[in-house]
Amino acid sequence: MSTKPSIGQGEIIEVALELAAQYKWRDITLSQISNIVGISLSQLISFFPSKNALVVRIMEDTTRAVVNNTDQDNIYESPRDRLFDILLRRIEVLSPNKIAIKSIIQEISSSPVDALCLAPELFKQFRNTLEVVGFDSTGLSGQLRVHGVAAIYIAALFVWFRDDSNDMGKTTAFLDRRLKPVSNT
């Protein structure tokens, strides 16, 4: 009896990102992804019941990659500097898939329903990010901080999409300007 090797969720994400780099995210279907991966649509849906579930996994993977590589030696830097660093590293993690991420973000930003559905996950990821760099994300002031930093990050992504420099100079300058008012109070 021959069985196909188990397909990992990472492979599904890779295929989704490859497709998003070639086509508009709105034109990609779960059926297309399952066909390319070589699994049934029902198998794919058991991992990712929607395209938004794929986006959530990309957000989680990005946060995990950045948090796991956060250097504890920079504990003596200001929280603002650590936040600046971690936001830039989030973008660096996404860099190999820049075209795909642009396709996905442009679609989400033009779909209020998708944006609304994904907002709680985005805020969760930024709560985790803020806590890692030493900002409190609890209470009303914490929630405002989470929402503000998430908005700055999303705006930085749109700058990054147009930033063709090797050092992400425009993106770095944008983040630096926008994070100046951020404080830990």
Least confident of 3-7, 9-13, 44-48, 168-172: 3-7
Sign of torsion, CA 116 119 120 121? Answer: positive
Q: How many residues does the chain have?
A: 185
Query: What pTM, to 2 d.p., does this model score?
Result: 0.89
Region 121-141: mean pLDDT is 92
Q: How does residue 95 score in pLDDT terms, banded at 50, 70 and 90? A: very high
DSSP string, 95-155: GGGHHHHHHHHHHHHT-HHHHHHHHHHHHHHHHHHHHHHT----HHHHHHHHHHHHHHHHH
146 and 134 in contact (C-beta within 8 Å)? no
30 and 51 in contact (C-beta within 8 Å)? yes
Least confident of 27-31, 75-79, 82-86, 118-122: 75-79
In single-letter form, the type of residue at position 47 comes to F
Residue with the larger pLDDT of the pair 69 and 78? 78
* Residue 182, token pair as written in the block: 């951020």
Q: Alpha-carbon distance 84 to 17, whole Å?
A: 26
Give the pLDDT confidence score for residue 1 in this predicted structure: 40
Q: Is the pLDDT of residue 72 over 70?
A: no
Give the pLDDT confidence score for residue 79 in this predicted structure: 84
Q: Is the pLDDT of residue 54 over 90?
A: yes
Residues 6+ apart with CB under 8 A from 74: 81, 82, 85
Mean pLDDT of the chain: 91
